[in-house]
Structure 1
């Protein structure tokens, strides 16, 4: 919720290779829900799970806000295949530890099944958050995906944030994976997005004048009481507080790694493409904030299976057409980073099976049981489907 670790520090060798070839490194964080081994409800097992994580993975696994949640962070990578393997290993390790603790690891934006409000992880910061903001995170927890892409310097990062704004609704649609909540279909592909917006600093990144402007806004928001510190800056894209990266953070966690890797690759290629545009003097699109809010609402409502607002034309278009437009826009950087072949395959798979939201609804339609949906999600998280 409020951290941005982005994995361990990049090695000197990787940094030298990235700099020599003008390539960007990539990292990903995923938050998961812990559910009971039999029932579909969340279970407060995070301490037991963390106790069972092997020591060599301990730095990559951490608590989240609730005791029903757990988070992993990959090491930064240059190669998409390396990121895939790192995350596959982390998911496997944490899934195994969860099973040993009598729980299951589930990659889902919100808990599909009804259950009691989970207790906070016993940390002073989380208690301060609850005291100030009350119950803004209902249920058993909200789980997202955060993608970190390296940037040359903070000022370049500010320009990237400005240029990213019209593209992020497409990412939000593609990651939608929380249609069910409290045992019913909410009518949204990403209900997590609706719940998440209760927090005072959640929303599209504003247009920023400079890094100094960014830092001043952070300071002013802390002074206002709307956040405790920079870690609570929940804009859909921000500068990492800990690493030289831009962090894209509005998406639900996705059931399988294929979709997560696709979005990570597209994010890196998009940042690289925007950095090129910035060097060439291309101005950031002037997108009114209310239209951005509308585009993100539509993305949360429909996912990729419906319509999205095209912020260039200000008309609604099929979501997959905008997804394809994003792919075509960043294709040269996908190729330059060595990701084009793998990303093309992953695009085809996502087009074929649909978002996590669509797949959850398909399971519910076939079986009529939220429990069956959670069973499918647990299998997909382990890489079984």
Structure 2
């Protein structure tokens, strides 16, 4: 079984230290943090966001250590600019004025062409993207095909955005709902490399996308590194959840890649049922039901995570990550994930600013 590397991209919103509303200070925070992090800290679509990127590694402990370091550097840079980095899928406290789009040529073009796809008042969303590699495009597409039925389960583990517009949306991941307004967000079509290149070229030619970098499938071959990128997770303040997601994505990828090389049959869910599985994950997270990837039947979400862990167990044993994954999963199963923690914090005093403070503290104190 081939051991794959892992990498994580984390998007953070910047909250003003006084109001806890999004603060348009991304450029200043990045300029400061980049003196230490270089290109590992980057701009995002809105000026009130930043992104960090870890280096590829095969060691889970090294990944955790680097994520903690990246967050610490960003927190120091943000403090100097009067703001807090917050790992949440949506902004708990809405902006006091319309958000500004980051002033780059690419983002200006996106904002102009896709103005109807986002709101400058409440359209800020932050995700956590897991990369596994190294994989050429053909292998990445084959792996995407095999991972598709399991991605709603991973999404359920990561839900961390119940609040928007100063209210509880009723969803565990409102980010999933907001983000779906952008073109191509959703399950990837079943394509080989030739079909992929032709399909994406037509999306660009027709104006649906500006370029291949705007492909927002839940699982996509990366255009800048030789990886498969999984894009279903909310940004999570709890670094343990991020590490768990990376470990599960890597182990599942290793297991399913072995199936691909052995020419074992591909497990498929009909497209409508797969969309329903993602909708259930966004709505209920771990507290409700999901769609079993093996049978297509409804099962409690926590049972589906158990099945995912069991499916990935051979690879977890190979990489030595089994004990850590089991500990982290049992902790989340017992105490709830990010959306549960946000709601619990709000119930204490009924203040959304307290939710932001708790998220900011957990983000920086990882």
Question: TM > 0.5 between the two?
Answer: yes
Aligned-residue offset at 1:366? 1.5
Q: Relative to structure 2, which stretch is displaced further, 280-289 or 32-41?
A: 280-289
1:135-150 matches, within 5 Å, as: 135-138=116-119, 139=122, 141-150=124-133
Counterparts of 1:359 and 1:325, CA distance in 2: 24
Aligned-residue offset at 1:137? 2.7
1:32-51 matches, within 5 Å, as: 32-51=12-31
* 1:2-57 CA-partner distances (Å, limit 9, x unpaired): xxxxxxxxxxxxxxxxxxx8311110000000000021210101112112215231
1:232 aligned residue (189, 205, 214): 214
Residue 94 of structure 1 aligns to a residue whose secondary structure is: helix
Instruction: Say whether 1:170 aligns with 2:150.
Output: no
Which TM-score applies when normalising by structure 2? 0.96
Counterparts of 2:293 and 2:28, CA distance in 1: 46
* 1:255-294 CA-partner distances (Å, limit 9, x unpaired): 1110000000000000000011111111222321111111
* 1:46-96 CA-partner distances (Å, limit 9, x unpaired): 112112215231210011000100000001011000000011000000011
Counterparts of 1:332 and 1:120, CA distance in 2: 45
1:148 and 1:245 in contact (8 A); partners too: yes
Which TM-score applies when normalising by structure 1? 0.92
Residue 75 of structure 2 corresponds to 95
Instruction: Say whether 1:331 aligns with 2:313.
Output: yes
1:127 aligned residue (99, 108, 124): 108
Aligned-residue offset at 1:140? 5.7
Instruction: Say whether 1:304 aligns with 2:309.
Output: no
Counterparts of 1:114 and 1:22, CA distance in 2: 45
2:94 and 2:165 in contact (8 A); partners too: yes
Residue 125 of structure 1 aligns to a residue whose secondary structure is: helix
The size of the alignment, in residue pairs, is: 363
* 1:173-219 CA-partner distances (Å, limit 9, x unpaired): 111000000110000000000001101211111112x1111111111
Deviating above 4 A after TM superposition, structure 1's stretches of 4 or more consecutive aligned residues are none
Instruction: Say whether 1:320 aligns with 2:306.
Output: no
* 1:350-378 CA-partner distances (Å, limit 9, x unpaired): 11221110110111112211111001000
RMSD: 1.3
Structure 2, unaligned runs of 5 or more? none
2:135 and 2:228 in contact (8 A); partners too: no
Residue 7 of structure 2 aligns to a residue whose secondary structure is: strand
1:3-42 matches, within 5 Å, as: 22-42=2-22
2:34 and 2:40 in contact (8 A); partners too: no
Counterparts of 2:199 and 2:123, CA distance in 1: 31
1:1-385 matches, within 5 Å, as: 22-53=2-33, 55-115=35-95, 116-138=97-119, 139=122, 141-208=124-191, 210-383=192-365
Counterparts of 2:34 and 2:174, CA distance in 1: 34
2:34 and 2:41 in contact (8 A); partners too: no
